Amino acid sequence: MDFKTDFKPLTVDPDKIYDYSFSIIAEEMGPHDFTEDEWKIVRRIIHASADFELGKSVIIHPDAIQAGVNAIRKGRHVIADVQMIESGTGKKRFEKHGGDLHCYIADEDVTIEAKRQNTTRAIISMQKAVRENEGGIYAIGNAPTALLELIRLIKEGIAKPDLIIGMPVGFVSAAESKEELAKMTEVPFITNVGRKGGSTVTVAALNAISLLADQV
């Protein structure tokens, strides 16, 4: 079947599309209490999700942005819970400062240990990440069990990330894991309220932080 339409895009210039999208977001969002730098993160989250309710629910620890910027500039690594975050992130902005992005969930030793313990690979991958990395930024957008395990490791004094971007999506423990993260005092964080979230919005927040780190 041949479908025809008279619709024409307003522009095909990628920079103009971004600018126009951001202007629409600002207009539809209206007044808010986010700081200028916080808004740069929230705006990208809304852009990635087209979800203003999600954007309005974002919680940013007062030290989160500077902690993330400092971590990137020091060459600290980024640890992702799933490979989708690896695919969507501008790794070159980390690499130019000496850092990299790692995801351990598909590692063979993680799979073997998860089966042995009858637990999730996400949990074991966080344990491995903490063993192999000092500090770093943890970007968790898919697995609530990864976020809960990381929180446990922090409370036990085993892990001390520079920043946690914890925005897992789902119906089982997603909202609850973010509630626990929002109670944290030991580590700066970016999170949101409720079931919504996901790898795309976690990537959006991470990319916003890395862009801020690139500013002189």
Instruction: Give catalytic residues, as residue numbers.
Output: 47
User: In 3D, which of 120, 211, 99 has the Cα closest to residue 162?
Assistant: 99
Counting beta carbons within 10 angstroms of the beta carbon of residue 106, is it exposed (0 to 12), middle (13 to 18) or buried (19 or more)? exposed
Cα-Cα end-to-end distance for the chain: 54
Residue given tokens 């600290």 in the structure block: 76
* DSSP classification of residue 57: T
* Tokens (6 digits) for 204: 């959006």
User: In 10 A of CB 123, how many CB atoms?
Assistant: 21
* Tokens (6 digits) for 72: 């990137």
